[in-house]
Structure 1
């Protein structure tokens, strides 16, 4: 916590990032980890950003994973993908703790740019539910989660490609994000990247994050979701470019 509280200007930026990420989650139903990582990495560095986002991400996605009434059905269908993703987080965190975080910030920037560009172009990656694809997509998702904190690639494209109905897809994404983030918390703690102060700060981050979600849900009734989504994706690409330039 001293890392954040020691600098009032930094604290204001962190709280603002949490509120904004919560607003995006409230409007779109997703995007909190992506926004938090993109904004917080520029303020406090990637390892600290990953630690700070843990509690808000786990709590919000646990609710999303339990809602929808298809938990058992999806668990039976996706168990190989989800299990592989959760386990592969650990070697990813080993890489995080072993290499210069600047290069992982660069990787995160590239992933954000790819995520935004693919969604703007409405492109998808062709996957199947065959065990090789499920385990491969899960392993790469977990590895990248451990290295960058982002569970977007290729996990979300894989889930989108297997023909899940909209509500099942939203619940499945919640299950993926909840499991990988919980595994990330354990792995960061085991590698001494997640300190007691950072865990306490992550718990405190729930307050501005939920305040932002409440505001986002209010705004959702007044804004065009399609227009907001367009601005959001362009902003994500811009943040990714910023991380890449800063890392280089």
Structure 2
């Protein structure tokens, strides 16, 4: 009973905090949720709990602007290969090798945090976009299916396409929504989502939405840049600890 209560409290707190990060920075809910819950539970369980909060918050982000169809027409090759890559690698996450998937998840978090903190912005030309989009989508999908995290290399790539701020937010919402649907499909395909996890995932939507609302209020009172740097530094340390567990 105490263990169940601890799990419920941990999940609710994690998604509330992840919602705050998304509310302040416009992204980060799946990454924070996978990072924190992946440190407490298996990455498979964390990914199952992530499905509904990630889907609902990212659909909300996707439909918040007027250019959904234009983004789909431009980015469909990337979205298609995200689905292909995720389905191809979802057996790894569903297989239950906790040591391997935890270390892979930690490695992805370290790479994402390091890149976001240290890398200089770059641009992708339209000529390169034609072949880069399917490639980036495939790599993103392979990492999504193996770790439950879908930010690398999708986020830096979309940032490099030169979108206006609102269009970038929508493009990220589109990528995250497609990744979440593909991940859910892969996990259900392998029978790796217990009914109890699905129920907990449904309940986790509430603290996630509350956290987003709180984060949007906080954004007006603090520097999003400083908040983002602190968040990324913490994510780096968490990912490093997870990545090194395979050597214990």
1:73: Cα distance to partner?
1.0
Cα distance in structure 2, aligned partners of 1:218 and 1:195: 35
Cα distance in structure 2, aligned partners of 1:166 and 1:16: 30
**Aligned match of 2:174:** 175
Report if aligned partners of 1:116, 1:237 keep a CA contact under 8 Å in 2.
Answer: yes
Cα distance in structure 2, aligned partners of 1:125 and 1:193: 38
**Aligned match of 1:51:** 48
Is it true that 1:217 corresponds to 2:216 in the alignment? Answer: yes
**Aligned match of 1:205:** 204
Unaligned 5+ runs, structure 2: none
TM-score, length of structure 1 as denominator length? 0.93
Cα distance in structure 2, aligned partners of 1:170 and 1:15: 25
Cα distance in structure 1, aligned partners of 2:85 and 2:244: 28
Report if aligned partners of 1:14, 1:43 keep a CA contact under 8 Å in 2.
Answer: no
Is it true that 1:8 corresponds to 2:5 in the alignment? Answer: yes
Cα distance in structure 2, aligned partners of 1:55 and 1:175: 15
1:127: Cα distance to partner?
4.7
TM-score, length of structure 2 as denominator length? 0.93
Report if aligned partners of 2:92, 2:101 keep a CA contact under 8 Å in 1.
Answer: no
Number of equivalenced pairs: 245
Change (3 A) 1:207 1:191: same
**Aligned match of 1:41:** 38
Residue deviations 1:189-229 (CA, integer Å, cap 9, x gap): 11011122211110010111112112212212211111111
- Aligned-residue CA RMSD (Å): 1.8
Change (3 A) 1:99 1:133: farther
**Aligned match of 2:161:** 162
Unaligned 5+ runs, structure 1: none
Change (3 A) 1:124 1:224: closer
Listed as ranges, the matches of 1:236-247 within 5 Å are 236-247=235-246
Report if aligned partners of 2:15, 2:204 keep a CA contact under 8 Å in 1.
Answer: yes
Residue deviations 1:74-120 (CA, integer Å, cap 9, x gap): 11111111111122211111222346231121111111111111111
Aligned to 2:226, what secondary structure does the other structure show?
Answer: helix
